[in-house]
C-alpha cells in the first residue's frame, strides 16, 4: 500500500522563498496545500501564476487566522484529500524538504503519532546560535514539557512536523490556539490523547527571512498559556481520568509545603515583632512538613516526567471526517501542470 503524504505550507509574507521551496519537494509527496493566510504580498497569486506542479493546491483565507489557523485549514484539506501522513513546512525556506521522509518514517512504521524537528540536537548547529535564542528556547521548552507532559522533547516551537491522519482527525482543531502558541498548544492536546511524539534532529536553514516571533514579546502570553494547560493536564491525568499514588504525592506534598511555609513565616514575623526567638519545636514544626512536602512534590515530578506514552495510538484510532468551514475560505485553486 502506497502511503499518501501531504504537505501543508502556511504562508504569510514568504513571497521571496515559496517558489524555491515548492520546487524542492520530492516525489514522495502526493499533495501540497499552500495556505495563503490573507497574505498582503499575494503569495498565493504568485504560486498560481508561476508554479506548474499539479500536486499544489492554493487555499486562500478570507481573513488572517495566524499560523495555527492556517495549519489547521491545511490539515482539513489534506485529510479530505486522503492523506495518511501530513507534514508541515514553513514557507520561508528554513526547512529542508529532503528531510520529509525522515519525519514520515516513525509514523509510517507505527513508532510515533507525531514527529517534530529539534534544531538543538547537534552541538555543532547550536554553536552558531545567539545565546538569547538558546536561552529563550530552553525556557519555552521547559514550559512546554511541563504543560504537555512530553518531558523528553525539546525545541517545542519548531514548525517542521509530521502527523498521522488518525491523530490529526481526532484533535479538537477548533480549540487549538491559532497564533504563535499553536505549536505548544497542539502538544498539550496530543498529550491529553496519549499520543506518542518523537523528536527528529535537523538543522535550520537561515537566510534573509525576518522572524515575527520575539521571545521577549510573547513570553508573558506563553507563560500564562502554559500554566493554564498545566493545570488542565494535571487535573485530567491525575484526578479526572485516574487517581494514583502520584495524585496522593501531589496533594499531600502541596498541603505540607503550604502549611510548613505559612507556619514558619507567621512565627518568624512574630519573633521579629516581639524580639523573642522561636523555640526549637516551632522551627521543627515548620521545617519538617516543608522538607517532606518538597520531597513528595519532587517524587511526583519524577513520576510525571517518566509517564510518556510508549505505544503509538494511530493504528487503533478511528479516522474522523472533518468538515471544512467554508466561511473562512476565500478561494481554492489548483496549479496548472506544465505543458
Domain membership of residue 326 (yes or no) is: no
Q: Domain check: are 51 and 164 in the same one?
A: yes
CATH code for the domain of 191? 3.90.550.10
The number of domains in the chain is 2
Interatomic CA distance for residues 126 and 138, integer angstroms: 12
Q: Domain check: are 125 and 193 in the same one?
A: yes
Q: Domain check: are 25 and 45 in the same one?
A: yes
Domain membership of residue 221 (yes or no) is: yes
Q: Can you tell me the mean pLDDT for 134-146?
A: 85
Domain membership of residue 197 (yes or no) is: yes
pLDDT in tens, 192-249: 888 999 999 998 666 554 555 556 667 788 889 999 999 999 999 999 988 999 999 9
In the listed set 190, 205, 238, which residue is the last one of a domain according to the structure? Answer: 238
Dihedral of CA atoms 71, 231, 141, 195 in degrees, nearest 10, equals -60
Query: What is the total residue count of the chain?
Result: 339
Q: Domain check: are 223 and 249 in the same one?
A: no
Give the range of the structural domain holding residue 112, as residue numbers without chain letter.
5-238
Residue 1 reports pLDDT greater than 80: no
Residue-level pLDDT at 265: 94
Domain membership of residue 329 (yes or no) is: no
Q: Domain check: are 51 and 104 in the same one?
A: yes
Q: Domain check: are 198 and 279 in the same one?
A: no
pLDDT in tens, 259-270: 999 999 999 998
Q: Domain check: are 163 and 270 in the same one?
A: no
Q: Can you tell me the mean pLDDT for 119-131?
A: 74
Query: Nearest-CA neighbor of 314 among 156, 190, 210?
Result: 190
CA angle at 35 for the pair 69 and 157, rounded to the nearest 5° = 50
pLDDT in tens, 4-34: 999 999 999 999 999 999 999 999 999 999 9
Interatomic CA distance for residues 313 and 168, integer angstroms: 12
Q: Domain check: are 252 and 110 in the same one?
A: no
Q: Domain check: are 253 and 107 in the same one?
A: no
Q: Domain check: are 287 and 227 in the same one?
A: no
Residue 299 pLDDT class (50, 70, 90 cuts) = very high
Residue 60 reports pLDDT greater than 60: yes
Domain membership of residue 20 (yes or no) is: yes
Q: Can you tell me the mean pLDDT for 53-76?
A: 95
Sheet with 197-201: list strands edge to edge. Answer: 197-201, 114-118, 161-164, 85-88, 5-11, 31-36, 56-61, 329-334
> Cell triple for residue 74?
491545511
In the listed set 238, 271, 293, which residue is the last one of a domain according to the structure? Answer: 238
Amino acid at each position: 500500500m502506497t502511503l499518501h503524504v501531504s504537505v501543508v505550507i502556511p504562508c504569510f509574507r514568504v513571497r521571496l522563498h515559496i517558489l524555491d521551496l515548492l520546487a524542492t519537494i520530492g516525489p514522495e509527496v502526493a499533495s501540497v496545500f499552500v495556505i495563503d493566510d490573507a497574505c498582503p504580498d499575494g503569495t498565493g497569486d504568485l504560486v498560481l501564476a508561476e508554479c506548474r506542479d499539479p500536486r499544489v493546491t492554493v487555499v486562500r483565507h478570507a481573513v488572517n487566522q495566524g499560523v495555527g489557523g492556517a495549519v489547521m485549514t491545511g490539515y482539513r484539506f489534506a485529510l479530505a484529500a486522503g492523506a495518511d501522513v501530513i507534514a508541515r513546512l514553513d514557507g520561508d525556506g528554513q526547512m529542508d524538504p529532503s528531510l520529509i521522509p525522515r519525519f514520515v518514517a516513525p509514523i509510517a512504521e507505527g513508532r510515533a503519532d507525531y514527529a517534530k524537528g529539534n534544531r538543538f540536537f547537534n552541538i555543532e548547529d547550536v554553536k552558531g546560535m545567539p545565546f538569547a535564542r538558546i536561552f529563550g528556547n530552553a525556557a519555552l521548552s521547559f514550559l512546554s514539557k511541563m504543560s504537555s507532559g512530553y518531558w523528553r522533547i525539546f525545541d517545542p516551537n519548531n514548525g517542521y512536523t509530521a502527523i498521522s491522519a488518525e491523530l490529526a482527525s481526532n484533535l479538537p482543531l477548533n480549540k487549538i490556539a491559532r497564533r504563535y502558541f499553536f505549536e505548544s498548544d497542539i502538544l498539550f492536546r496530543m498529550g491529553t490523547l496519549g499520543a506518542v511524539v518523537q523528536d527528529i534532529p535537523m538543522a535550520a536553514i537561515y537566510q534573509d527571512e525576518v522572524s515575527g516571533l520575539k521571545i521577549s514579546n510573547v513570553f508573558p502570553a506563553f507563560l500564562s498559556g502554559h500554566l493554564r494547560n498545566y493545570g488542565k493536564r494535571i487535573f485530567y491525568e491525575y484526578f479526572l481520568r485516574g487517581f494514583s499514588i502520584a495524585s496522593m504525592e501531589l496533594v499531600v506534598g502541596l498541603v505540607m509545603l503550604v502549611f510548613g511555609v505559612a507556619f514558619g513565616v507567621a512565627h518568624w514575623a512574630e519573633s521579629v515583632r516581639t524580639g523573642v526567638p522561636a523555640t526549637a519545636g516551632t522551627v521543627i514544626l515548620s521545617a519538617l512538613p516543608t522538607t517532606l512536602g518538597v520531597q513528595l512534590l519532587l517524587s511526583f515530578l519524577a513520576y510525571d516526567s517518566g509517564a510518556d506514552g510508549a505505544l503509538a495510538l494511530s493504528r487503533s484510532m478511528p479516522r474522523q471526517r472533518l468538515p471544512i468551514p467554508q466561511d473562512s475560505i476565500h478561494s481554492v485553486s489548483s496549479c496548472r501542470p506544465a505543458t
